[in-house]
Chain A
Amino acid sequence: MLDAIVAATGQIFTLSRLAWLLAGVLLGSVIGFIPGIGGRVTLAILLPFIVKMDPASALVLIVGIHAIGNTADTIPAILFGIPGSTSATATVMDGYPMAKRGEAERAMGASFLSSGMGGLIGAFTVLATIPMIRPLILTFGNPEFFMTAILAIVMIALLTGGAPTKGLVAGCVGLMIGMIGVAPQTGVQRWTFDQLYLSDGIPLIPIALGIFAIPELVDMTLGGAGTKIAANAQAASLSTKWQGVKDVFQHWWLLVRSSFIGSWIGILPGIGSGSAIWLAYGHAVQSSKDKDNFGKGDVRGVIAPEAANNASDAGDWCLTLTFGIPGSATMSLVLAAMVLLGLPAGPKMLTDHLDLTLVIVWSLVLANLMATGLCFLFARQLSGITKMPVHYLFPVLIVLIFLAAYQSTTDWGDLITLLGFSVIGISMKRFGWPRPPLIVGIVLQHLAETYFFLTTKLYGTSWLTRPVVIILFVLIVWTIVHAARRYARDKAAAKA
């Protein structure tokens, strides 16, 4: 192991490799900023060109592109309330209200630093767990995966506080929307109405953009011509990225906890950062004494998901490399790149190619630092966008949203989905129905159903006695009891 670390360090700290890493970060930043496009498209464009590169340089370039994608997707989430990718949906919750309050630079400072630190903690966690990664993952069987999915949905659904029923209904509707398409275990079509577009399931990007982005854009222009996102220009000039940095250090323990949540979720196959961010966000809300500011621009609501997002990325990499299981669409492209480069993704990456695995870990560390530095450098200029008249931004953002939705499957269905879910998103926002549980339900449906099916078929009822299942069950019950107590307390306070 020590020899491999030395060899990997020697391989990464050369001028050419560092230049490739920087090139990846810069390339990723050009496209990564556009909502819904991100690192995945950059990787797809570059795939044919990396075939002729040496494996270490190619991997370094890929990591660079990927790392900036996860950091830059926060920018549209904070500035416009448009999640750059599904892993930035939780950041919208508090990042955008901060921008509206004139604290975009502060939110970005906190977000970039949390992303960078989360990425570092994630990379070091993966590095530390490489020798025991296999037994660690094997402690999680089908029942544990199923219970994790249920925990995530229950946690987010019940964090709605004032409306637990609405939260649970939204979560269940999300699960049911996720069920549209071919059933994973039987291959039977469900609610596809003989439409080819629906047989693969409804893509997540048009749904997320419809549920979150369009309602925010509609509200953004509410003040008429001349309105700016940052209504309070004085606050905008006082709030700096350094305030965001201070916030991160002030809430360092939340950052560490969220990073560990992200790392662990990233290592688990199939769950991905889309769930990690919500689990971290839910944890931030649940573990806070003063919960009232969440959703109104609480910096902790930015720190937790951003740290978890980048930390889960390291775990995702680890899973792809050591098991050959891609945890996301981007990781499928990484796997494709590895095949093109002649690298055997799987256990051999921990034996025959351990040096390359460690090169990736090193690259993750350095790329996160570079990405954070680059985004941090332009935080002030980017936050300046919130002082522009929103009516100039609106048509440009609508165009980008439609393009991002359309490139999901390049089908008319993407645009119809976007419009349909925009109506649902606007109605949910207006009528006090929480939107996050709906998205989490859709994200976790495939995982929940697949593992539920396997669990009931393989274990019967004996899975209920497995120790990790019991722990997760206790956590679910605790979440429900906690939410019920809070609801009763709020109701009593309202009556008093």
Chain B
Amino acid sequence: MSDERRKLDPSFWLALFFVVVIAVWVVTAATLDRDTRLFPWIVGIPAFALALRQLVADWRGVGAKPENGEPTPYPGILDISVDRTIPAEEIFRHTIRTAYWIVTFACGIWLVGFLITIPLFIFFYLINEANARKLPALIVAAGMALFVWILFDRVMHLAWPEPALFSLFGIKPKF
């Protein structure tokens, strides 16, 4: 068997994650009373067996093993199809970069709240990723902030989360 054929199917790691999660679920359900654990076991035990089967299949590389030339990875999956023409490394780099922006936005919300983070995030994202000029970026950021403030704050009276930075300094924001 060549090294290429031994290459682990990336699906293996997700299968492993599901096996571990389901195993924890099934084992911890044992501490519950009979009626409460019945359904978790009825679902969990066959699910564990199936996940284990998938894990073994991915370990053996059934899904990714090239038989005749280049295979189509994960054929026949009922889901939105993935563009396989882009190299995996590029997709990975892009995913990390996008995740960085999403996590930065989430951290911004945690630190200074939604209403301050939204215009800042939009402005800096447009400048850095869309190569937008400052004025259009500013207009989009301000427009979105205004829309969110009117709809979610003034109309819906959404209970905004208390920003960590404000709590630290004992500031009570009006929004």
Binding site for B on A (CB under 8 A): 31, 34, 41, 45, 81, 92-93, 96-97, 156, 159-163, 165-169, 172-173, 175-176, 179, 183, 185-186, 188, 190-191, 214, 216-219, 221-222, 225, 285, 294-296, 389, 391-392, 394-396, 398-399, 402-403, 406-407, 410, 412, 415, 419, 422, 426-436, 448-449, 452-453, 456, 490, 494-495
Contact = CB atoms under 8 A, between A and B. Distances in A.
B140 to A, nearest CB: 7
B148 A432 contact: no
A410 B36 CA distance: 29
A190 B36 contact: yes
Contacts of A403: 114, 148, 152, 158
B144 A396 contact: yes
A176 B130 contact: no
B156 A41 contact: yes
Contacts of A186: 33, 35-36
A176 B22 contact: yes
Given A394-B125, A427-B14, A452-B39, A436 B78 contact: yes
A161 B76 CA distance: 5
Contact of A172 (B47, B99, B102): B47
24 contacts: A156-B78, A160-B78, A169-B15, A169-B18, A175-B43, A176-B21, A176-B43, A179-B40, A183-B36, A186-B33, A186-B35, A190-B36, A225-B129, A225-B130, A225-B131, A391-B131, A392-B132, A403-B114, A412-B161, A415-B109, A432-B74, A433-B11, A433-B77, A435-B79
Contacts of A415: 106, 109
Interface of B: 9-11, 13-15, 17-18, 21-22, 25, 28-29, 32-33, 35-36, 38-40, 42-44, 46-47, 50-51, 53-54, 57, 63, 67, 73-83, 86, 91, 94-95, 98-99, 101-103, 105-106, 109-110, 114, 118, 121-122, 125-126, 129-132, 140, 144, 148, 151-152, 155-156, 158-159, 161
Nearest to A399: B118
Nearest to B57: A165
A399 B11 contact: no
Contacts of B105: 398-399, 402
Contacts of A419: 102-103, 106
Contacts of A296: 81
B54 A169 contact: yes
**The 10 nearest A-B residue pairs measured at CB:** A432-B74, A162-B76, A172-B47, A391-B130, A161-B76, A431-B11, A395-B125, A395-B122, A188-B36, A449-B39
A453 B83 contact: no
B109 A402 contact: yes
B99 to A, nearest CB: 8
A186 B10 CA distance: 40
Nearest to A221: B98
A167 B122 contact: no
A183 B159 CA distance: 28
